[in-house]
Structure 1
């Protein structure tokens, strides 16, 4: 039974071969010859060079769809090669991060923080923005921490003085 089945399948494939165009047959022969050449020069696993890939990719476009799937280079492999080629050609080098702050701007931040001990990071940021520099508060904080400039001085004495004067005024008006 299997012999009859194989004979029938072979006859049907011959009939299908007769129905194909001559260009399709030529493309398949070229692809098969190139695959055989690649397989002859390799050991167990074929390693394709770039010229081999280019030839096989060009011939795969000519082959009929059902024949493309039976080659050593599948359509998925062709797509993978194309994606890698495009990714290598069109990618831009990525910058390592935000651009660094200039030394003159760092010096200005340090000067503002040291001359105005009661100013916080947000106040320094506002003053820089008024002078035309856009710097994030977190960047100012990192710069001040790196240079070991402490937090702004709290003005407890002035608050106590205000409360004392206010309490004295209340007591004076009450009597």
Structure 2
């Protein structure tokens, strides 16, 4: 249960102001069809984070516990620094009728946007730390949905009220705390 709760909270915080949250806003404004967008986000996140969680579990088998502790501690500290760097969404191409439909466009865009993203890297590290693939993937997916689904439905009214810099600082502090804990434990 700890793996699920930590994964959910960490990813929900890390996702605030992230490029995929900005992508959610862009897709909502462009297509104005929230259900296929939210479903596309869910399916893309499940697929992406399932692969990332499997990678994290596999990595732990390659390393001994002492090396893994140092790698995880350093990785969490690196994530803390990374959280302080804001994401910017690249300009998208025009066109009102997507060839893949709203769901397919969202699925593809989200899956690709998550490749190498903070939340994907966090999923790898959390799966390696907790050795609870299902709980970590479920938690990181829920965290993504908690951060992105409201953006789809409520648009930029939410993003104007959330001080992104404060969220990034809080996320950095959480990652730094996890890094210190991993190194000192």
Which structure has the higher relative contact order (CA within 8 Å, separation 6+)? 2
What TM-score, normalized by structure 2, do the two folds share?
0.19
Higher helix fraction (1 or 2): 2
Larger Rg: 1
TM-score, normalised via structure 1 length: 0.19
